[in-house]
Structure 1
Amino acid sequence: MKRIIIILSVLITGSTVGQESITLDECYRLMFQNYPLAKQIQLFEKQNTLDTEVISNVRRPQIHLDAQATYQSDVIELPLPITTFEGVNKDQYRATISVNQLLYNGGTTGASLNLKSAQTKTKQKQVEVNLYQLKQQINQLYFSILLSQETYLLLESKQTQLLAKLKEVQSGIKYGVILPTSDKVLEAELLKLSQQFDEAESNRIALIETLSSSIGQSLDHAILFQNPIVNTVLQTEINRPELDLFQLKREEIERSEALIAKQNAPKLLAFATGGYGNPGLNMLDNSFQAFYTAGIKLNWSVFDWSSNKKQRQSVAINKDIIDSEVETFALKTNIALNQQINEMDKIERFISSDLEIIKLRKEILKSADSQLKNGVITSSAYITELTNLYEAENTLLKHKIQLQLAKANYKVIKG
């Protein structure tokens, strides 16, 4: 039995030597960097680059090649007795190449590029918002691991106390002061304690593996999670990425309005067409000829039955929708903040109560320790009081971790 206890003690104390450590902020950073959703930010940027090139191509010459061969059931005939005109062939052939160059389109291209840029920024910010909302999940995992870690240390403290008490009891048995079987009760409690060690470590490993998946980086099971000092300043100002997202959505709507406003602007193009065919431009010349045409074309939708105006009005309604979303978000956030404040106040009251309970339990255990030495009570009675103290200390530990978690969640909610 002694050998088992010694080995267990060496394993416990030795496992804390030379450990790597990690902080809550590092977990946040790794999550933003490695979570699969984060890849979308770069993908949206690449997509925007390609779409921008496509939109910008409208400013470049547009070249088209056409070729056709046809057979007509009838052709042009001249009702004049001209003997030199042979008539037009019913089979005709033509190949042309056309070049169109946009000269002016009222700024539609620039407006399209601005809209595409605004849409990309909105999509990227939405990804940031979704990642930010995972921070509370990281908080829950991190502080749960921290609780397992601190519980393990508390078990070590209890084990040290039991080992010391076992030596005293064995000495008391030797001199006939304490009942012969009293050490067996303590040895049984130490075995029970080893099971609690296994359970705490198993829970910790499971939580670490879950956290590893969330932050996209494998964490060693022996890594030490640092206890963060969360200083919470209670204030009403909200600084969440959702607010930036709402602003980007407004800007996207404004860009859409600008694009719609320019859609009816006049468009001026230069064009040129060259070709070879039979017949050419001279329909009366029944032979293969080269030909070309060039010119300038103006396209302007002068009247559209107010469709453009109504489109802009429809898009503008989205601004009111965004405003209602902002109000809803602010309301929900303030409610969540108030809930966290109430939670922190409640836990702080519990901690004050825990400290009083522990103080009383220590006095009771001190008395029980003296009674055990004098043979007044049994080892079982002593273990009962020791367990009561341990449970009170464990409750205090849980409340302290819960308070840190509530503070961390408050900071996340507030932004």
Structure 2
Amino acid sequence: MKELLLFFLLFGLCTANGQITIDDCQEKAKANYPLIKQYDLIAKSSDYTISNANKAYLPQVSITGIGGYIFAGLPEFSSPGSSSGEPNKAQFIGIAQINQTIWDGGATRTQKDIIKTAAEVEKSSVGVALYSIRERVNQLFFGILLIDEQNKQLDILFEELNRGLKKVRLSKENGLAYASDVDEVKAEMLNLEQKKIEFNYTRKGYVQMLSYLIGQELDENVKLEKPIVIEPSGSLTNNRPELSLYSNQLKLVESRSAINQVVLMPKIGLIGAGALIEPGLNFGSSKFNGLALAGISMSWSTAGLYKSSNNKELDKIEMDKITNQQDVFLFNNKLQLTQANSDIEKQKAIIAKDGEIITLKGNVKKSKQLMYDNGLCSMNDLLSSINKENEAIGNQALHNIQLLMSLYNYKTISGN
């Protein structure tokens, strides 16, 4: 229910703002993924299992009936002056027993602890699986942002070429330009339209996949909001769900190891029993004899003593295996974080040069434009300089998005 309410809340906020954020998509993708239903199923299963464990303290009733034929009769007694008669060879014995546990050595409490911890382990496993969805959302979200930046630069270049086309046509009409110059500009504009078509279809596919992931139909022209990401610091805490899984697995082994102590404890309870025998032992005229007793029962088994030492070693080995898995994960996670940090530094170093490159390419374009206007270079040379300046501007926009993606990737790898 909480996940459903969160889904509608995020949907309302998204609609109101007219843009979708990456955090919205992450939450919706998690709520939409079928595996999310496991949380509710695990909780229900745990509740029912704990309820069964609590029933260990309810009175336990057993009834046994035995019927048979006696080949050698039971001892027979009779009162003075009475006739014993021929004994009945058919015999029936009914036994009823009631046991009420007073103390089971901590078995019920331990079993409940194990059930609760096992449920937490299952939830953590689901959390690990759900976390992998974040990477898919990241790839689609930033893929769309990259395409948007490329389309934006194509639009700017198209407008510039369109202005140039008008100017060249006017020059041609005045006999100052060739018809081929007009054709070259037109051909370049058609190339841009082709690229835009390719980008738009790719974007449409990304939006459709993102819609499927988050369970919400998105318009193919939906606007995505660029995330604001704080640069990582050395003090950033690792909050990956795998660490919670390993922690709960260790707790589960500890809970199960408590059984080693439980089996060594005596079990104390109340007992009541009754027996009905037919025919009776002939102490009187009645055909039935009955017997009833009540008292305190205590049972203690030494079987656990022989296995206790080995069980402790097995539990220690199991905990060492889990700890080793955690160490392997942390090692690989640290390696991923190092690579992600290296990507961030690389993108920052590249961006630092983008501004200078754009300035220089702009100067070259202005020079080529002046040369073309004075008949000192061809239209092809001018278009080449225009494309290179636009490429430099586009690269700067792409590098900024890539830096943003690297920062968010670092955040995802660290579980934040």
In the superposition, the TM-score normalised over structure 2's length comes to 0.84
Letter in 1 for 2:405: L
Structure 1 pair 78/105, CA: closer, same or farther in 2 (3 Å)? closer
Separation of aligned partners in 2, 1:295 and 1:86: 37
For the residue of structure 2 that corresponds to 1:21, the secondary structure is: coil
1:289: Cα distance to partner? 6.9
Whether the 8 Å contact between 2:264 and 2:305 is mirrored in structure 1 is: no
Verify: 1:233 aligned to 2:209, yes or no. Answer: no
Contact 1:280/1:291, CA 8 A, preserved across alignment? no
Q: Evaluate the alpha carbon distance shift between residue 85 and residue 359 of structure 1 in structure 2; reply closer, same or farther with a 3 A threshold.
A: farther
Bigger mean CA offset, 345-354 vs 193-202: 345-354
Partner of 2:187: 188
Q: C-alpha displacement at 1:235, in angstroms?
A: 0.6
Q: How do residues 365-404 of structure 1 correspond to structure 2 at under 5 angstroms?
A: 365-404=365-404
Partner Cα distance (2:283, 2:306) in 1: 44
Give the SS at the match of 1:224. coil
1:164-179 aligned at under 5 Å gives the runs 164-179=163-178
Equivalent residue, structure 1, for 2:45: 47
Task: Output the CA distance in 1 between the equivalents of 2:222 and 2:36.
Answer: 25
The offset of 1:105, in angstroms, is 0.6
In structure 1, what is the equivalent of residue 36 of structure 2? 38
Can you give the 5+ residue segments of structure 2 that lack an aligned partner in the other structure? 1-15
Q: Secondary structure at the match of 1:270?
A: strand
Cα contact 1:172–1:373 (8 A) shared by 2: no
* Structure 1 residues 195-216: Cα deviation after superposition (integer angstroms, max 9, x where no partner): 2111111111111222233333
Query: Counterpart of 1:51 in structure 2: which amino acid?
Result: T
Structure 1: any 5+ residue segments left out of the alignment?
1-17
- State the identity %: 26
Is it true that 1:74 corresponds to 2:99 in the alignment?
no
Is residue 250 from structure 1 mapped to residue 250 from structure 2 by the alignment?
yes
Question: Which residue pairs with 1:265 in the alignment?
Answer: 265
2:25 to 8, 24, 27: 27
Shift of 1:225: 1.1
2:49 partner letter: D
For residue 66 of structure 1, report the CA deviation from its aligned partner: 4.9
Offset of residue 251 of structure 1:
2.0
User: Could you tell me how far apart the structure 2 residues matched to 1:85 and 1:299 are?
Assistant: 44
d(CA) in 2 for partners of 1:283, 1:189? 121
Alignment partner, residue 315 of structure 2 = 315
**1:397 aligned partner, one-letter code:** A
Amino acid at match of 1:169: V
Question: Is the alpha carbon distance of 1:412 and 1:282 closer, same or farther for their aligned partners in structure 2, counting shifts above 3 Å?
Answer: farther
Distance 1:237 1:292 in 2: 71
In 2, the alpha carbon distance for the partners of 1:78 and 1:94 equals: 16
**TM-score, normalised on structure 1?**
0.84
- Note the alpha carbon deviations across 1:324-380, whole angstroms, 9 max, x for none: 233323222222211112222222222233333222221122222233334443433
The secondary structure found in structure 2 opposite 1:76 is coil
For the residues of structure 1 that align with 2:259 and 2:319, how far apart are their CA atoms?
A: 16
After TM superposition, list the pairs within 5 Å mapping 1:291-306 onto structure 2. Answer: 293-302=293-302, 304-306=304-306
- Partner SS for 1:261: helix
Q: Give how far 1:80 is off.
A: 9.1
- What's 1:151 paired with? 150
Give the C-alpha shift of residue 95 in structure 1: 6.0
Could you tell me how far 1:117 is from its partner in structure 2?
0.8
> How far apart in 1 are the matches of 2:215 and 2:308?
49
Q: Which moved more, 1:93-102 or 1:111-120?
A: 93-102
Q: 1:287 to 1:403 in 2, by over 3 A?
A: same
Q: Is the CA contact 1:278–1:286 (under 8 Å) kept in the aligned structure 2? A: no
Name the CA shift for 1:209/1:283 in 2 (closer, same or farther; >3 Å). farther
3-state SS in 1 of match to 2:258: helix
User: CA contact under 8 A between 1:77 and 1:87: conserved in structure 2?
Assistant: no
Contact 1:87 1:286 in 2 (8 A): no
Retained in 1: the 8 A contact 2:158–2:189?
A: yes
Say which SS state the counterpart of residue 98 (structure 2) adopts: strand
**SS state at 2:228 partner:** coil
How far off its partner does 1:264 sit? 2.3
Q: Determine the C-alpha separation between the residues in 2 that align with 1:398 and 1:24.
A: 18
* Equivalent in the alignment of 1:406: 406
Q: Is the 8 A contact 1:88 1:284 kept in 2?
A: no
| Corresponding residue pairs, total | 396
